[in-house]
Amino acid sequence: MAAMARVRFGDFEADLKTGELWRGGDRVRVQEQPFQVLAMLLARPGELVTRDELRQRLWPADTFVDFDHSLNTAINKLREALGDSASEPKYIETLARRGYRFVGAVRSEPEASAATATAAHAPAAAETLHDELPTAPHGVARGLLALIQVMYLVFYVVALARLERLAPTHAYLGQRTLAALEIAILVTATIGIAARLYWLACVGFDFRGTGKQFRRVFPLTVLLDLLWALSPLLIWRDIGLGLAFAATAALLFLPFSQRNLVRMAYGWEPRR
């Protein structure tokens, strides 16, 4: 299998030349060392790859690291990327104190026949390589995403509950402007509540297509969130002008931080 360039297993495809892992057309974020571990296991499917072999390949003798901790971290990150587990392995089986074995079915492509497939992924690779994000634990990214959805839900509900205070506080805007503003708040808050409940369900059930779907609606999401980012200015009389501007600045940043969390947790569908 030394000449193979691409290896398919389950829903995944590993490009051993570029060090990329794909799933259903979406690039899966894997750091260099976990991918090297995967490459060694895929080169010898069904066979034991000892911990000493992995140490010699990934951490040469002149490298001073806590080998056991570093290898365990690499294996855990690899399993997280593959959706695998040590207790019920679909791909990577642990042989206690000896090493690891790849137990999934492997289908390889020789280097010559992989050229077309590589070209198909090239635009996506070019797009993502120049914009790499830090790798975050999947659970942490999911947790922060869920907190953002809950924050927006509370934000919308509180705004709707206090909607009747808009007219008395901002009578200077005029009746027509106030009526249009109230309709805009009602419509956008209703859409926002439905959207946030949907994303909260996606994150709660760890839906793998979240990144693909979020990218498709991201322009509309940004528009909605930027409109609501101005809402603290409506209550500046209650909280003060400085705090209102500070809250607006934080809300302007939030949609883009949310996008990055989605990318870190679920990847980002390449543009077609």
pLDDT at residue 135 greater than cutoff 80: no
Q: Which pLDDT belongs to residue 109?
A: 66
* CATH fold group of domain 4-129: Arc Repressor Mutant, subunit A (1.10.10)
pLDDT of 124 > 60? The answer is no
pTM: 0.52
> Tens digits of per-residue pLDDT, 203-239?
998 887 888 889 889 999 989 998 888 888 887 777 7
Decide if pLDDT at 167 tops 90: no
Q: Is the pLDDT of residue 146 over 60?
A: yes
Q: Which of 2, 12, 1, 15 is nearest to 114 (CA)?
A: 15
What integer pLDDT is reported at residue 134 of this predicted model?
65
Which two tokens mark 157?
């509900």
Which residues have C-beta within 8 Å of that of residue 211, sequence separation ≥ 6? 26, 262, 263, 265, 266, 267, 268, 269
Mean pLDDT of 52-63: 78
